[in-house]
Amino acid sequence: MLRHVKDDLYQVGESVAGHDGWHEAVRVYVLLNDGCPLLFDAGSHIHSGRIMADLKQLLGDTAPGYVFLTHTELPHTGNIRAILDAWPGARLVCSSAILPHVELPWWVTEDRIRYGYAGTDETYGGRRIQFLDGILKDQPGTHWMVDERTGTLFSADAFGYLFPAAADRAFDDELDGGVPGDWLRRYHASAFRFLPLVRGEWVKADIAKVFAKRAIKTLAPTHGNAVRGDVARFVDRFNQAITDICR
């Protein structure tokens, strides 16, 4: 699935269906970036053929310059080999907290890795990218990233949602009333099983700081479509979901 989100931001990827009829997205985001494309996460190995076909359709003869990995679970890294085989010059940008020879395949050599440090910003292909420690995560070392030009927060597992099959391609502004809070609650209760042990007010307060310090206009979760319409309404529904799940 290849879709234009806004400006030079696109998303590709597929979805997986659960036994109960709810679907979960596995997305890869692309900033075309004036001839030096930036990819955010690599996608799952089980969707490799379709992801690569969509990326080649989108990029044409232009090779990606960098692939930013939010963390190293397979839905985010399983397609790395296909990307690096197709575009040998691409470099991986990983959290400084990961253990590359443990968390990445043995054939990913050190010269192909760049490290991002939470609390810093760096320029890649002329594009300024901020690195943040992921507030809500299921793996240590998870980074969130912000593209200042489009105001996009790449949030890894956070802000995802489950959806019925009919909503697979729909952005929030293409759904009547936006993304329902129930979809957010179902996903976060499943993806973050520890949340009932967490104080929800603390989670919401820390995430509010992220938005207070940055002009976030778009959310790009791996496990949901990009949120490009009413971001404030979406975050309000996320906060209510956190309140419902947490103690």
| Predicted confidence (pLDDT) per residue in 136-167, tens digit | 888 777 899 999 999 999 999 999 999 999 99
Q: Which residues contact 205 (CB under 8 A, 6 or more apart)?
A: none
List the CATH number of the domain containing 86: 3.60.15.10
pLDDT on residue 97: 64
Q: Find the domain containing 35 and state its range.
A: 3-245
Nearest to 217 by CA among 206, 227, 205: 227
Residue % of the chain over a pLDDT of 90 = 74
pTM of the model: 0.94
The string of pLDDT tens digits covering residues 69-121 is 987 766 777 788 899 999 999 999 987 766 665 567 766 777 788 888 888 99
3-class SS shares of the chain: helix, strand, coil, % to 5: 35, 25, 40
pLDDT on residue 2: 96
Number of compact structural domains in the chain: 1
